[in-house]
Amino acid sequence: GERPDLIARLAYFFAARGRAEDSLANWNRLTQADKESNAVLARAIGLGLFDQKRFSQALEFMRQYGAEPDAYAEAITNPSFETVLDDGEESRFGWRIARNESRFDATADSKVKRDGNRSLRMTFRTFNKPTFTNVFQTVVVEPGKKYILRFWVRTEGLKSLGGPMLEILNANDDRTIAR
């Protein structure tokens, strides 16, 4: 049928069966008002597609229902840390901070900055683990396409056998692409 509620449920049906493109195509048949009235369904689809590692379509669903308004494919979201960091469980494409280590803290810093008005300050207090994933972001990219990543890092009072490291992983299988 052409009823908006049925089209929204059809989008959910396709997403639940791993047919992300069909899900998004049906969802995009809806008017903006119909999408807004089915926002709960869009949220479920977006989170489900993310869990299925269908990142491109998940990003589009999450953008459309308002969870990731500043996230775009092929771009770092909030690169200068101008907006709130780690919006909790809802965010999938913004900065996420693993807060499972009491001797680590990550906060926005308005005193030290390079671009924009803020930077990210990471504080380690007698930290001794050999590896530690602490601040990360999922970015939608095209397979096989070349990208350039530029970043700036500054340390102060760092006592470590190794310096800061940026690692780029393939989110589909967690293999290292670059380090």
What gap in Å lies between CA 123 and CA 163, rounded to an integer?
14
Alpha helices (runs of H) in 28-83, residue ranges in sequence order: 32-37, 39-51, 55-64
Name the residue among 43, 65, 50, 41 with its Cα closest to residue 18: 50
What gap in Å lies between CA 84 and CA 79, rounded to an integer?
12
Per-residue pLDDT of 74-85, as tens digits, reads: 999 999 888 877
Per-residue pLDDT of 5-42, as tens digits, reads: 999 999 999 999 999 999 999 999 999 999 999 999 99
Mean pLDDT over all residues of the chain?
88
| Dihedral sign for Cα atoms in the order 142, 143, 148, 150 | positive
Burial of 126 (0-12, 13-18, 19+ CB in 10 A): exposed
| pLDDT computed for residue 161 by the predictor | 75
- The pTM of the full predicted model, rounded to 2 decimals, is 0.85
pLDDT above 60: residue 132: yes
